[in-house]
Chains A and B, each alone.
Chain A
Amino acid sequence: MSTAVTPDLVIDASKTLCPVPVLKARQGMDQLKRGQVLKLIATDPGSKADIPSFARVAGHELVSTEHSAKQFVFLVRKGGK
């Protein structure tokens, strides 16, 4: 379902634990313009809940979440200001 969206930035937060995936997501968002899409890869099981919460609170749109046994891949479209 996410194949139609091409990310403008890819950040790999694999092999890190909370709070690093969220901090890296924020760093990524700071580099993007509104409407651009970040692809974030994470392996922390907590990120499955954390990244959607990050997006909701910070005013971004979670475009999609994919997870395999090994990792989560999130597409987040920058919103807000």
Chain B
Amino acid sequence: MVTTAERLLQDNLSLFEAMHKQAHDNEPKRVAIVASKGTLDMVYPPLILASSAAAMGMECAVFFTFYGLNALHKTKSRSLQVSPIANPAAPMPVPNILGAIPGMTSVATWMLKSMMRKQNVPTAAELIKVCQDSGVKLIACTTTMGVMGVKEEDLIPGVNMEGAAAFLEFASKAHVTLFV
């Protein structure tokens, strides 16, 4: 037996599909990013993507976990470094083995920072400010906070503290999900 409701649905399937599509086309696009790395070179990609997403009107959240949490740390975020060890792409004019010499991490960090400054690249702190001002949700992983002994007052103001389930709920409705 085909009910009236079923027949109505069958007869108007393409119309309902179009209505459904239009409703979803009008929803803002959503971006969910996990930031898991704490070196200077690796905090940039999630922050660049998040700030751009917000600028384009997308809804964005970044979940900072493990070393990635350093980007939200009041003091540690100011001393992010890039290591030349096991990083043959590091901006060093010397053979990579010399990267193991004490002080070479500072040299590589100084070099990368000066290269970025020369190209007017915003600092990580400036990008975080842009993210906050444009409504990106910055999330500190509470497990990481516990493991690393990071307190709420150690983090820059205005960040959210959540666990995996809350982020997954947000990410389950995302159009873009990235793990950095």
Interface residues of A, Cβ cutoff 8 Å to B: 15-20, 22-23, 25-26, 50, 53-54, 57-59, 80
Q: Does B119 contact A (CB under 8 A)?
A: yes
Smallest CB separation, A57 vs chain B (Å)? 4
Q: Cβ of A58: which chain B residues have Cβ within 8 Å of it?
A: 55-57
Task: Give bound CA distance, A40 to B56, whole Å.
Answer: 15
Are B121 and A26 interface neighbours, CB within 8 A?
Answer: no
Interface residues of A, dominant DSSP: helix
Smallest CB separation, B164 vs chain A (Å)? 28
Interface residues of B, Cβ cutoff 8 Å to A: 29, 48, 51-52, 54-58, 119-122, 127, 130, 134
- Further contacts, 18 of them, CB under 8 A, given A20-B121, A20-B122: A15-B119, A17-B119, A17-B120, A19-B55, A22-B52, A22-B55, A23-B51, A23-B52, A26-B54, A26-B56, A26-B134, A54-B52, A54-B55, A57-B29, A58-B56, A58-B57, A59-B57, A80-B57
Are A19 and B120 interface neighbours, CB within 8 A?
Answer: no
Q: Cβ of B51: which chain A residues have Cβ within 8 Å of it?
A: 19, 23
Task: Give bound CA distance, A16 to B126, whole Å.
Answer: 14
Q: Cβ of B121: which chain A residues have Cβ within 8 Å of it?
A: 16-17, 20
